[in-house]
Amino acid sequence: MKTIILIGANGKMGQAALTGLGKHKIITAGRSADSYDFQVDITSEASLRKLYEDVGHFDAVVNTVGVCEYANFTKMTEEQWMSTILSKMMGQINIVRIGQEYIADKGSFTLITGILNTKPIPFAIADATTSGAIDTFVKCVAFEMPRGIRVNSINPTVLEEAWDVYGEMMPGFEPVPGKLVGKAFERSVDGFITGQVIFVDA
């Protein structure tokens, strides 16, 4: 049994990840203080450092947080770009950058991206761009990780559980059950792969 910090556990992707992590001890973390074992803001370096120090020993971090702004490219402001970059891109890079100082030997980081960097749709340029950045990050940073630490990303299509929110934006896409995406998180945490983008598509 591993001790896993699951960031964003109450979100739709967090709930999907949980279905694949049942045999482990899960420590939940997220933005709202009363909903999680530990509060964390992934856009704050100090908050991430405090999370890792407060938790102590852990074998894996699974992150399912990456807040994105949606707008047409011609209308998207720098502020909207920066808030997406600070969360989905730098937030996740900092989870690994700071977390590698604290995680157990042979530990793993699993990050979240999403299908829109390979199958673009309108309004999603910031999500697609930062997902592509994180997919590239995991492929390349894996070569630099110390102490046998692994890093992968999960790149799923839309969840059945989120189809009511995103379905209208995504004509021609087929949603997948959270349980299937949970298997991808399980492969990342319990397998030996590293530097991999694990795609889950219908």
Ligand X SMILES: NC(=O)c1ccc[n+]([C@@H]2O[C@H](COP(=O)([O-])OP(=O)(O)OC[C@H]3O[C@@H](n4cnc5c(N)ncnc54)[C@H](OP(=O)(O)O)[C@@H]3O)[C@@H](O)[C@H]2O)c1
Closest CB to ligand X among 122 and 148? 122
Q: Is 73 helix (H, G, I), strand (E, B) or coil?
A: coil
Closest CB to ligand X among 32 and 74? 32
Q: Measure the CA–CA gap between 149 and 89, rounded to whole angstroms.
A: 20
Q: Measure the CA–CA gap between 28 and 183, rounded to whole angstroms.
A: 19
41 binds ligand X (CB under 6 A): yes
In the block, residue with structure tokens 């059950």: 177
Min separation Cβ 183 and ligand X, Å: 15
Angle between helices 92-99 and 45-55 (to 10 degrees): 50
The answer to whether 83 touches 134, Cβ cutoff 8 Å, is no
Q: Measure the CA–CA gap between 146 and 107, rounded to whole angstroms.
A: 10
Min separation Cβ 55 and ligand X, Å: 14
184 binds ligand X (CB under 6 A): no
Query: How many chain residues interact with ligand X (CB under 6 A)?
Result: 29
With CB under 6 A as the contact rule, the residue among 32, 57, 78, 146 that binds ligand X is 32
Q: Of 7-15, 50-58, 95-103, 140-148, which segment contacts ligand X by CB under 6 A?
A: 7-15
With CB under 6 A as the contact rule, the residue among 5, 6, 13, 17 that binds ligand X is 13
Min separation Cβ 105 and ligand X, Å: 26
Question: Interface residues for ligand X in 67-126 (CB under 6 A)?
Answer: 67-68, 87-88, 112, 114
Taking 3-state DSSP, the helix, strand and coil percentages for the chain, each rounded to the nearest 5, stand at 45, 20, 35
Structure token digits, residue 92: 């996740």
Provide the mask over 126-165, with x wherever binding to ligand X is found by CB under 6 A and - wherever it is not. Answer: -x----------------------------x-xx--x---
